[in-house]
Amino acid sequence: MTAVVTPILHVDMDAFYASVATRDRPELRDQPVIVGGGHRGVVLSASYQARAFGVRSGMPGAQARRLCPQAVTLAPDFDAFSTVSRAVMETFRRVTPLVEVASLDEAFLDVGGAVRRLGPPEAIAEQLRARIHDEQGITCSVGLAATRSVAKLASRRAKPDGVLTIAPDQVVEQLHPLDVGELYGVGESTRSALRALGLHTVGDVARMPLEVLQHHLGRASGAHLMDLALGTDRSEVVARNAAGFGLGEPDRSMGAQETFGRDSADRGFVLRQLLRLAARVCRRMRGAGKVGRTVAITVRYADFRTLNRSRTLPEPTDVTQEVYRTAVALYDALGAHRDRLRLVGVRVEGLVSRAGVHHQLELGEPDHGWADADRAVDRAVARFGSAVVGPASLLRHDRGTRRSVAG
């Protein structure tokens, strides 16, 4: 098989906080919007309409309002940001396990192992962009390259809502004319130090003798900067979550979502999707040896309004029917079936090791039940595949149809 030349993707959400804050408020989509920047605060994010006036993240709110007095200022909703971020990162992990989360709104992916299944990296990038827009109602930009730093730079140049590939033979042409401050990881202090040496562009750095660079910056820093300038920096993507961003460890929750091919208000149809998603999530939990106590659902209406509801169970579980029943109760409590939906999701949170949980039998409870049935299905799926074995109601409706479950 031919080696994949640009297997590394850097996916960056476009104006993430502003996009999430306005996605359910269509009246604001064409307006300049600032998230944060309240009294004596700083701007957390600005829509592209506000950026046209010079508003930037990290800017004092008072300065932002002077630049763009007509902007709508919104308070940040960190629960919503974290919820969307977790869903986006899970979308990435459906493509490849090699996802290195850099922050709430960006990650590196190594898709070299997914090309046989999903197509070339450019096609995977487009699939991800379409899926994130459809499921989350926001856009992202993707950079593709052979190394992490070049992929990061490519995604920045692809913004907003674009894809850019920089192949190894394009690095000199694309990188060397840029300001040295464009390099990934080069901050203002390093940029100033380089400028003091007469190094203004990436090409200036690349042409500098390595020993001279190391003399001024130190052995390790000089070598790393040279690698950045040549586009030969560390290319490995390490599967890990971002610490300090409220995401938690990847296995603290598991979930799945499905966007319908057509908006629907048919309760029976929606319940079948909830059952399918519950089965998918619980199968993954059992495979990982996890159980969880909190069941959460997400529903997105045809107009992109999105609601999340959750319920904590008396005991942790990995039983499909228990998760499904709770999801149905949450769905019915919303009265969501009165309006057309475009997406539903099921998530189990607060996961712990099943080995450390001892189930307390209740009086009259049978020795065998849904838990045993689930494990029998797991064994059958492992042998024959998920298309053959599953809940009877799903198998009846899935005959001859194509599914697009997100999990």
Q: What is the pLDDT of residue 112?
A: 92
263 CB neighbour count, 10 Å cutoff: 15
Q: What is the pLDDT of residue 390?
A: 52
Phi, psi of 134 (to 5 degrees): -70, -40
Helix (H, G, I), strand (E, B) or coil at 175: helix
**Residues 311-336: what's their mean pLDDT?**
90
Residue written as token pair 């900067």: 225
65 CB neighbour count, 10 Å cutoff: 17
Tokens representing 162? 């674009």
Q: What is the pLDDT of residue 400?
A: 38
Q: Which fold has domain 250-398?
A: Dna Ligase; domain 1 (3.30.1490)
Catalytic: which of 90, 106, 135, 322? Answer: 106
190-209 burial, b at 16+ Cβ within 10 Å, e below that, comes to bbeebeeeebebbbbbbebe
Would you call 249 a catalytic residue per the annotation? no
| DSSP notation for 176-207 | TTSBGGGSTT--HHHHHHHHHTT--BHHHHHH
Tokens representing 317? 């579980």
Q: What is the pLDDT of residue 178?
A: 93
Q: How far is CA 169 from the centre of its chain?
A: 30
Closest CA to 337 of 347, 346, 329, 325: 329
Quick one: what percent of the chain has pLDDT higher than 90? 48
> Which residues of 182-246 form beta strands (DSSP E)?
none
125, pLDDT greater than 80: yes
Query: Who wins on pLDDT, 67 or 242?
Result: 67
Q: What confidence category does residue 380 fall into, taking pLDDT thresholds of 50, 70 and 90?
A: low
CA–CA dist 104, 86 (Å, integer): 8
Tell whether residue 233 is among the known ligand binding residues: no
pLDDT tens-digit map of 235-289? 788 887 754 444 444 457 788 888 788 889 999 999 999 999 999 999 888 888 8
pLDDT tens-digit map of 329-345? 999 988 756 788 988 99
Up-side HSE of residue 306: CA atoms within 13 Å toward CB? 25
Q: What is the pLDDT of residue 401?
A: 37
Residue written as token pair 């475009």: 342
Residues 6+ apart with CB under 8 A from 143: 9, 10, 12, 150, 151, 152, 153, 154, 155, 156, 157, 158, 163, 164, 165, 166
Tell whether residue 12 is among the known ligand binding residues: yes
Question: What's the mean per-residue pLDDT of the chain?
Answer: 83
Q: Which fold has domain 1-14+78-244?
A: Alpha-Beta Plaits (3.30.70)
**Residues 90-107: what's their mean pLDDT?**
91
115-145 burial, b at 16+ Cβ within 10 Å, e below that, comes to beeeeebeebbeebbebbeebbbbbbbbbbb
CA–CA dist 399, 176 (Å, integer): 55
- Report domain extents, the chain: 1-14+78-244, 16-77, 250-398
Closest CA to 163 of 206, 186, 132, 208: 132
> Would you say 118 and 278 are in contact if contact means Cβ atoms under 8 Å apart?
no
Residue written as token pair 């940029």: 191
**Residues 8-28: what's their mean pLDDT?**
92
Q: What is the pLDDT of residue 58?
A: 85
CATH no. of 16-77:
3.40.1170.60
Residues 6+ apart with CB under 8 A from 305: 24
CA–CA dist 142, 98 (Å, integer): 16
pLDDT tens-digit map of 29-51? 889 999 987 766 789 899 999 99
Tokens representing 136? 């989350």
CA–CA dist 219, 111 (Å, integer): 32
> Would you say 111 and 142 are in contact if contact means Cβ atoms under 8 Å apart?
no
Quote the longest CA-to-CA distance of the chain. Answer: 82
**Residues 82-94: what's their mean pLDDT?**
89
Indicate yes or no: pTM above 0.75: no
